[in-house]
Amino acid sequence: MADVSRRNLISGAAAAGSLVVAATHASAEGEQPPFGPTPAPLSGKELPSFRFPLSSQPPKVYDGGWAKEATVAEFPVSERLAGVLMQLSSGALRELHWHANAAEWAYVIKGRCRVTTIDPQAHSEIVDFEAGDVWYFPRGHGHSIQGLGPGDCQFILVFDNGYFSEFGTFSITDWLGHTPVEVLARNFGAPEATFAAFPKREVYMTKGPVPPPLASDPPPGSLNVGAETHRYRLLAQRGERFPGGSLRVVSERQFPISTTVTGALLRIKPGGLRELHWHPNAAEWQYYVRGRGRMTVFGSQGRARTDEFAAGDVGYVPQGYGHYIENVGPEELEVVLALDSGAYQSISITAWMAANPPLLLATNFGVPESTFASFPKREAILPE
Ligand code: MN
Ligand code: MN
C-alpha cells in the first residue's frame, strides 16, 4: 500500500481540487507523474488488489448521458493511467473542452459518435467513430464528442495520468461563464446582450439534434486538416492470431499521433492463456469488455496476486510487473488495454527462455537440459 506521506499527498490533492493537480503537472516535463519520481512502488509485504469494479460504480448522470471514473482517488494503484466509462445518447454532446494534465485515448465499445478537434497549428478534424475505433487527443488539445445514434454510444476513455479527473477538465462553458460579459463582447465583437443567454456554469454534457452526415467531399479549404488523423480502426486490423486468441496492437507506429499511449484489443478463447510477460516501459490499464478473466500479477520478493475480473471491471499492472491472464469463463474474454507509452514493448517469458542455452536453463532451475527441449520458442496466446 502507499506510504503515509504519499497517501496524504493524494488525498490533499483531491481535497484541493483538480486545478492544483493540473497546475503541478503542467510545470513538470517528461513522463514522470505530477508528484515527482515514482516512489518504490507497492513496497508492502502484500500486493494490493489490481481490480476495480468500474461499471458497478454510481454514475454521474447528465442530460443525455453518464460517466463513471477510475482515478487514483478511486483506485489507488493506478498512478500512471486513469479511465472513464462514458455513454452518450443519440444527439448528446460532451461539450468542447480540454485536459491540462493528460492526453486522452479512447476505444468505442458500441454505437457511433462524432469528434471535433483543434490543435496548436489550428488544424481541425471532424470525424465519425464506430465500435472498434480508437481516438487519441494530445494533452491540452480541444475536442468534443457527440452521439450520432441510432441508440447509445459507449466508450472507454483512458488518460495517461492517474491523477487526472474527467470531472475537473477545462470546459468552454465554464470559462465563458466566468468571464465578464464586457470582455466576451470585446473578444467576439458582439453586443453584450448576445451573451445573456449563455450558461453561467459548466454544461459538461447536453442534449441536441443529431448532426447531419459529414459531407463526403468537403469544399476545398473548409477544413484545415493536419497530417495526423485522430482516428484508428483497431477492430479492422487483422492483428496477431494465436491458437488461444488474438491481439491487436495500436502504438505510434500504426497511429502516429498516439505518442504517449499504446492501445490493444486482447481476445482469449475459453480456457486460453495470455502467457507470462511484462512491459519494460509502461504501466498497463485494462477494461474487461466481455467474459470472465483471472489475472495474476508478479511483484517480486515472493509476491504474486491473483484477481478475478468480470465485464465492466478495470485492471492495472504497474510498469515492469510480470503478469498473465486466463479466460476462466465459458465465452470469449475481451479486454481493452492501454499502456502509457507510444512505443510498444513486451517481453514474454517463453521467448526469453528460448533465447537462452538449455545448459544455462538447466543450471538456473537445477533440472536436466532435456526438460526444455519441448518448450515453445515464441510468444503466444495458448489454447485450453
Ligand atoms: Mn476529453
Ligand atoms: Mn500485458
pLDDT tens digit string along 89-132? Answer: 999 999 999 999 999 999 999 999 999 999 999 999 999 999 99
Q: How far is the CA of 141 from the centre of ligand 1 (A)?
A: 9
Residue showing cell 483538480: 18
Q: How far is the CA of 320 from the centre of ligand 2 (A)?
A: 10
* Ligand (nearest to CA of 144): 1
> Quick count: other Cβ atoms within 10 Å of Cβ 116?
16
Given the residues 51, 97, 139, 277, the one annotated as active site: 97
**pLDDT attached to residue 41:** 58
Structure-block grid coordinates of residue 138 = 494530445
Q: What is the DSSP letter of 39?
A: P
* Rounded Cα–Cα distance for residues 83 and 283 (Å): 13
150: exposed, middle or buried (C-beta count within 10 Å: 0-12, 13-18, 19+)? exposed
* Rounded Cα–Cα distance for residues 21 and 165 (Å): 9
pLDDT band at 161; cut points 50, 70, 90: very high
Given the residues 79, 104, 202, 326, the one annotated as active site: 104
Q: How far is the CA of 249 from the centre of ligand 2 (A)?
A: 11
Question: pLDDT above 70 covers what percent of the chain?
Answer: 88
2 Cβ contact list (under 8 Å, min separation 6): 10, 76
**pLDDT attached to residue 225:** 73
**pLDDT attached to residue 215:** 82
Q: Where are the domains of the chain?
A: 56-231, 237-382
Q: How far is the CA of 346 from the centre of ligand 1 (A)?
A: 28
Structure-block grid coordinates of residue 134 = 480508437
94 is catalytic: yes
pTM of the shown model: 0.87
Q: How far is the CA of 97 from the centre of ligand 1 (A)?
A: 6
Q: How far is the CA of 40 from the centre of ligand 2 (A)?
A: 21
Q: How far is the CA of 181 from the centre of ligand 1 (A)?
A: 27
Is residue 181's pLDDT more than 70? yes
* Rounded Cα–Cα distance for residues 289 and 270 (Å): 15
Structure-block grid coordinates of residue 310 = 468480470
Report the CATH architecture of 237-382. Sandwich (2.60)
Fold of 56-231: Jelly Rolls (2.60.120)
Residues 183-214: pLDDT tens digits?
999 999 999 999 999 999 999 999 999 999 98
202 is catalytic: no
Is residue 369's pLDDT more than 80? yes
Given the residues 166, 202, 334, 379, the one annotated as active site: 166
Strands 205-206 and 93-98: antiparallel
104 is catalytic: yes
Residues 3-53: pLDDT tens digits?
333 333 333 333 333 333 333 333 333 444 444 445 445 777 899 999 999
Strand partners, 310: 292
The CA-CA-CA angle for residues 335, 142, 220, to 5°, reads 105
236 Cβ contact list (under 8 Å, min separation 6): 132
* Rounded Cα–Cα distance for residues 253 and 250 (Å): 7
Q: What is the mean pLDDT of the chain?
A: 89
Lowest mean pLDDT among 84-93, 117-126, 341-350: 117-126
Is residue 247's pLDDT more than 90? yes
277 is catalytic: no
Q: For residue 78, give the nearest of 52, 99, 100, 55 by alpha carbon.
A: 52
